[in-house]
Amino acid sequence: MAAKKVSTLIKEARIAADLTQEQLARKISGLSASDISLAERGKKELTQAQLKQIAKATGVTQASLLNAAKGSASKSNSSKKTSASGSAKSTIKVTATEKKLVELYRAADSDTKKAAINLLKGEENTAEMIFENILESVQDMLDGK
């Protein structure tokens, strides 16, 4: 399977994050909505710093965008082709584990969602968080909840 182009990944990440080009541009220093549009169409190359900011703003991994950028930079520019399938709708294949994570996240309360996001960002001490959740569960059982 061929690796996706960075332009495609930027657009998919933006749409998945439910951001307009204008909203994303406001989160990235030095970029306008027009620049985002050009980047999504493969007409503008972004810096690594800008790709990192896009990854952070859209919630995708920096590695996915940076690796795609490296791959597209190594290809010759003479092999550019336009695609008729440039619709705003796109499908992203997810694993069974990813699907389960989404289902669990949607069913979780807001505190659990915040904890999950912090955990995935590496901002939460995993052992401490698990211990606190166990204590809360035990307290709930003792209180008859």
| Residues 31-64 pLDDT 10s | 999 999 999 999 999 998 999 999 889 988 878 7
- Residues 70 and 110 occupy one common structural domain: no
Write the CB contacts of 88 (distance below 8 Å, at least 6 apart in sequence).
15
- Residues 18 and 71 occupy one common structural domain: yes
- Residues 42 and 100 occupy one common structural domain: no
Domain closes at, from 75, 105, 128 = 75
| Residues 81-107 pLDDT 10s | 434 444 445 667 777 777 888 888 888
Q: How far apart are CA 40 and CA 32, in angstroms?
A: 12
* Pairwise pLDDT comparison (7 vs 134), residue with the higher score: 7
- Residues 104 and 71 occupy one common structural domain: no
Q: What is the residue range of 13's domain? A: 6-75
- Residues 19 and 57 occupy one common structural domain: yes
Q: How many domains does the chain have?
A: 2
- Residues 14 and 64 occupy one common structural domain: yes
Q: Would residue 46 count as lying in a domain? A: yes
Q: Would residue 85 count as lying in a domain? A: no
Q: Would residue 59 count as lying in a domain? A: yes
Q: How far apart are CA 91 and CA 71, in angstroms?
A: 21
CB 51 within 8 A of CB 59: no
